[in-house]
Amino acid sequence: MGEGLWSSLEVVSSTGSTNTDLAARAGELGEGAVLVAEEQSAGRGRLDRSWVAPARSGLFFSVLLKPGPGVPEERWGWLTLLAGVATATGLSRAAGVDTALKWPNDLLVSVEGEERKAGGILSERVPGGPSRAGGSGGGVVVGIGLNVTLTEDELPVDTAGSLALAKATVTDREPLLKAVLRSLEQWYEAWRAAGGDPAASGLQETYAAGCATLGRHVRADLPGGRTITGTAEAVDTDGRLVIRTAQDERLAVGAGDVVHLRSVR
């Protein structure tokens, strides 16, 4: 694919999950491999929730990233949030769509003044070969699913949305994919150059600015039936959501700890 981060691009007509396929080949592929599917029959979201859509109605793709030894592994969790920022930025430029971020991995658009989920991101750690940054070890497969041309009748649930329903100026998937990949490369390289530091790279501030969760009263459902209710106040340097409770406690929850996060009145 030329110079830059993206080393290869493969498009398949149909597959179960681009994340599963790319993860299985992570050891043999170089960093920057991109796998795109016209249709996914077993697309997965966080906690193995299903993600399905008609063929050629959206963007379904995964990328392989290998941050290398310059980025501590404890900062790799930021890649999900980074992908959200990059996707929102790319869609704004290419399609004139304002995309908000729901912590930790949802992409939201406005349809007739109503906030709806149009996409999601799933990141998975994988074993892998050497990265361009040197060293060896694992990497991260980042999958992005985005509803592009779905109509109201095609939506899986009434809380879902699409770029077309959000009045996007562009719904051709090829320029949208290019715009998201370009934005993802820019954010990733800046983040890696900063050693994965979300503050120094500007990622933490930009994510907070575009995060619709912040400032809202939320309920976080945790494993074992435990819940935390309060105001979503910030995203900390570890990418965790900081919730201020009615007792004025500030509690931080990680994406791996939360089963559901809902806005409540």
Note down the domain range covering 225: 217-263
**Is residue 218's pLDDT more than 70?**
yes
Q: Is 1 contained in some domain?
A: no
Q: Is 125 contained in some domain?
A: yes
Q: What is the per-residue pLDDT for 51?
A: 52
Q: What is the per-residue pLDDT for 191?
A: 98
Overall average pLDDT of the 7-22 stretch: 95
Q: Which two tokens stand for residue 113?
A: 């003044």
Q: What is the per-residue pLDDT for 26?
A: 93
Residue 222 and residue 186 share a domain: no
Residue 152 and residue 258 share a domain: no
217 close to 243: Cβ distance less than 8 angstroms: no
Spatial CB neighbours of 173, under 8 Å, sequence gap ≥ 6: 56, 58, 59, 148
Residue 196 and residue 144 share a domain: yes
CATH number of the domain at 162, please.
Answer: 3.30.930.10
Residue 257 and residue 148 share a domain: no
CATH number of the domain at 238, please.
Answer: 2.30.30.100
Residue 36 and residue 77 share a domain: yes
Overall average pLDDT of the 117-137 stretch: 77
pTM recorded for the entire structure: 0.91
129 close to 28: Cβ distance less than 8 angstroms: yes
Residue 170 and residue 233 share a domain: no
Residue 247 and residue 187 share a domain: no
Give the model confidence (pLDDT) of 44-75 as tens digits. 444 455 556 677 899 999 999 999 889 999 99
Residue 74 and residue 110 share a domain: yes
Give the model confidence (pLDDT) of 241-252 as tens digits. 999 999 999 999
Neighbouring C-alpha atoms within 13 Å toward the C-beta of 45: 17
Percent of the chain with pLDDT over 70: 90
Residue 108 and residue 238 share a domain: no
Q: Is 71 contained in some domain?
A: yes
Q: Comparing 262 with 235, which gets the higher pLDDT?
A: 235
Percent of the chain with pLDDT over 90: 78
59 close to 173: Cβ distance less than 8 angstroms: yes
Q: Is 159 contained in some domain?
A: yes
Q: Which two tokens stand for residue 155?
A: 């939506």
For residue 127, name the pLDDT band (cuts at 50, 70, 90).
confident
Residue 119 and residue 63 share a domain: yes
Residue 104 and residue 231 share a domain: no
How many folded domains does the chain comprise?
Answer: 2
Q: Which two tokens stand for residue 193?
A: 């150059």
Q: Comparing 57 with 3, which gets the higher pLDDT?
A: 57
Give the model confidence (pLDDT) of 145-183 as tens digits. 999 999 999 888 889 999 999 999 999 999 999 999 999
Residue 124 and residue 76 share a domain: yes
Q: What is the mean pLDDT of the chain?
A: 91
Overall average pLDDT of the 208-215 stretch: 97
Give the model confidence (pLDDT) of 78-93 as tens digits. 999 999 999 999 999 9
166, 188, 210 - which closes a domain: 210
How buried is 157 (Cβ within 10 angstroms: 0-12 exposed, 13-18 middle, 19+ buried)? exposed
Q: What is the per-residue pLDDT for 137?
A: 64
178, 195, 210 - which closes a domain: 210
